[in-house]
């Protein structure tokens, strides 16, 4: 079965836009061998503002291989069933802000897995929010 991800985007912004539906099988870099390692599916509860590591690359129990085909899925699931779409959590790589994940928003992003390129999260407010995530990577 491998690891697969399918995205479907629909929008009525532009007349005639037929939407996007695409699938990918997560493979190792440069070949069609399935990707072989994962962080497992995890959640992280955040209660105060301030950037913290969601993933510290150097601390992974299985060392990820650098600069290949790793991916991460992250989703802001709110807290205890309450999802506030007006407040977000800034996702960053090595302190560089990528963007804000508002309540309910999700993202799928490639990663370098280089030790310095930790994944950071920084809530916009002190309201409790939960982030769920899973990283897929190649073992070094």
Partner 1 sequence: MATTTAAVTLTSDLLSDNMSVSASTTCMKAGTTADGLDQMEYAYVNLVTGDEYDLIAATPTASKASKLYLKNHSIDETYFVAITQGTQAIGKLYAGDWMFIPADFHDAAGEIAITANGGTNKICYALFHEGITLNASA
Tell me the site size for partner 1, rule CB under 8 A.
67
Residue 5 makes contact with partner 1 by CB under 8 A: yes
Total number of residues shown for the chain: 140
Tell me: does residue 93 bind partner 1 (CB under 8 A): yes
Comparing CA positions, the residue from 137, 121, 125 lying closest to residue 44 is: 121
Distance between CA atoms of 117 and 46, rounded to whole angstroms? 20
Dihedral (Cα; 99, 60, 28, 30), 10-degree rounding: 80
Part of the chain binding partner 1 (CB under 8 A), chosen from 42-50, 51-59, 89-97: 89-97
Residue 61 as a binder of partner 1 (CB under 8 A): the answer is no
* Min CB(18)–partner 1 separation in Å: 10
Question: How many angstroms separate the CA atoms of 74 and 48, rounded?
Answer: 19
β-sheet bridge partners, residue 21: 8
Residues that bind partner 1 (CB under 8 A): 1-14, 17, 20, 22, 24-27, 29-32, 35-38, 40-41, 67-71, 73, 75, 84-88, 90-91, 93-94, 96-102, 104-112, 114, 117, 134, 136
């Amino acid at each position: 079965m491998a690891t697969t991800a399918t995205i479907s985007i629909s929008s009525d912004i532009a007349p005639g836009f037929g939407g996007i539906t695409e699938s990918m099988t997560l493979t190792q870099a440069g070949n069609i061998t399935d990707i072989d390692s994962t962080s497992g599916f995890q959640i992280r509860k955040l209660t105060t503002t301030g950037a913290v590591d969601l993933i510290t690359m150097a601390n992974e129990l299985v060392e990820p291989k650098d600069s290949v085909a790793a991916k991460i899925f992250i989703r802001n699931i709110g807290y205890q069933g309450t999802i506030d779409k007006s407040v977000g959590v800034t996702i960053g790589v090595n302190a560089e802000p990528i963007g804000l994940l508002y309540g309910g928003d999700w993202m799928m992003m490639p990663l370098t897995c280089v030790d310095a390129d930790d994944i950071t999260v920084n809530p916009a407010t002190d309201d409790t929010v939960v982030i769920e995530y899973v990283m897929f990577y190649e073992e070094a």
